[in-house]
């Protein structure tokens, strides 16, 4: 009797189902910062997490740039950052690394990534003379300011800014560094001689006497002043920077001051700016526009959640300005 035919055995085992594809990670909100532990950086990270925006801090100086035909590329600690992995970049560029920081910001822009505060605006804000030139041209009030390079021209320049005492400033400086007051012509010429010998460019500026030892910081985000404070210098100090020990108090900014601050940010070309104003007899006077404003003192003085407003605006800015990354031709 013929034996029954055995069914064929599939020795390869049951057919394997293809592994499900992993979803691509959500684009990150990138914060360029040298130190992830700084107050403002930590607050931005925390706010972005609450909003589900996947924050990532990149050390600006650990970003390496590669340029080749039609393909700008950027690497962080050796790992390539592809444009599709970034929703928006928030630059927090310290004054000491402005040159390299601007190169990194420009590279992200070339890659088609939205950058909140572009390189042009940051660069203008870091050059005090250029910023003041633009503000004055736009019709905004500023302290009278002079630039000269010869010792013989100094007395006339001092008179042009209103006489003594006057303020002496480095063209590039931050947090009150490089800001001095001179009460005699000997002090002026001595300071200028020393600073010129060190290769520094110097501004002579009017001392607005009614605002001596105090100023106003207004934080502009988009088309709005979201918070403001008055800063008052400690005893014996004329500079009202928080880093110099000044006290901060919440301020409800009058309309003309708010309008001046918003316009100043726009003139310099910034989406987010810390605008410093003097309270002069004739009204608000723009002293400086900062492109990477810290907001620790402002949050503490006002109680406002500035970090969330900052991050929300970054996300809205990205949605409004998203650009397609460049591709090969």
3-state secondary structure of 55: strand
Per-residue model confidence (pLDDT) at position 329: 44
**With a cut of 70, which residues of the chain have pLDDT below it?**
1-24, 173-177, 323-329
Rounded CA-CA distance 325/110 in Å is 8
Per-residue model confidence (pLDDT) at position 244: 73
Q: Where are the domains of the chain?
A: 28-117, 144-207
Beta-strand ranges (E) seen in the chain are 28-32, 55-58, 63-66, 73-76, 79-80, 86-91, 145-147, 166-170, 179-182, 202-206, 214-221, 224-232, 247-250, 272-280, 283-290
Q: Hey, which residues does 285 pair with through a beta bridge?
A: 278
| CATH no. of 28-117 | 3.40.50.20
Per-residue model confidence (pLDDT) at position 238: 75
Give tens-digit pLDDT for 171-213: 886 655 688 999 999 999 999 999 999 999 999 999 999 998 8
Sheet with 247-250, edge to edge strand ranges: 247-250, 224-232, 214-221, 272-280, 283-290
Per-residue model confidence (pLDDT) at position 146: 98
pTM of the predicted structure, to 2 decimals: 0.88
Q: Structure tokens of 204?
A: 């002579």
Q: Hey, which residues does 230 pair with through a beta bridge?
A: 216, 249
Q: Structure tokens of 307?
A: 């970090």
Eight-state DSSP code of residue 271: S
Per-residue model confidence (pLDDT) at position 324: 56
Q: Which CATH number fits domain 144-207: 1.20.1640.10, 3.20.20.110, 1.10.10.10, 3.30.1490.20?
A: 3.30.1490.20
Rounded CA-CA distance 70/62 in Å is 23
Instruction: For strands 86-91 and 28-32, give the pairing.
Output: parallel
**Segment (H or E) for 122:** helix 119-126
Per-residue model confidence (pLDDT) at position 235: 82
Rounded CA-CA distance 302/94 in Å is 24
């Amino acid at each position: 009797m013929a034996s029954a035919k055995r069914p064929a055995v599939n020795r390869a085992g049951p057919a394997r189902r293809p592994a499900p594809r992993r979803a691509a990670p959500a684009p990150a909100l990138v914060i360029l910062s040298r130190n992830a532990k700084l107050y403002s950086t930590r607050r931005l990270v925390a706010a972005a997490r609450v909003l589900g925006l996947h924050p990532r801090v990149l050390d600006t100086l650990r970003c390496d740039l590669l340029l080749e035909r039609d393909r700008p590329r950027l690497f962080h600690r050796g790992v390539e950052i592809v444009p599709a992995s970034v929703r928006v970049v928030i630059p927090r560029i310290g004054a000491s690394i402005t040159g390299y920081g601007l190169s990194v910001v420009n590279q992200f822009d070339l890659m088609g990534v939205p950058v909140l505060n572009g390189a042009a605006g940051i660069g203008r804000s870091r050059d005090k003379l250029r910023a003041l030139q633009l503000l004055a041209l736009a019709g905004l009030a500023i302290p009278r300011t002079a630039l000269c390079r010869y010792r013989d021209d100094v007395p006339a320049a001092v008179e042009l800014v209103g006489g003594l005492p006057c303020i002496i400033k480095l063209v590039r400086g931050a947090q009150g560094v490089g800001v001095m007051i001179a009460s005699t012509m000997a002090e002026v010429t001595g300071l200028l001689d020393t600073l010129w010998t060190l290769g520094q460019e110097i501004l002579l500026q009017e001392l607005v006497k009614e605002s001596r030892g105090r100023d106003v910081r207004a934080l502009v985000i988009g088309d709005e002043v979201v918070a403001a404070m008055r800063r008052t210098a400690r005893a014996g100090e004329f500079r009202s920077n928080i880093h110099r020990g000044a006290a901060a108090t919440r301020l409800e900014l009058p309309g003309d001051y708010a309008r001046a601050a918003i316009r100043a940010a726009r003139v310099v070309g910034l989406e987010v700016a810390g605008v410093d104003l003097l309270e002069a007899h004739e009204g608000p006077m723009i002293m400086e526009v900062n492109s990477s404003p810290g907001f620790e003192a402002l949050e503490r003085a006002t109680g406002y959640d500035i970090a969330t407003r900052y991050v929300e605006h970054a996300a809205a800015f990205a949605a409004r300005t998203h650009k397609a990354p460049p591709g090969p031709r």
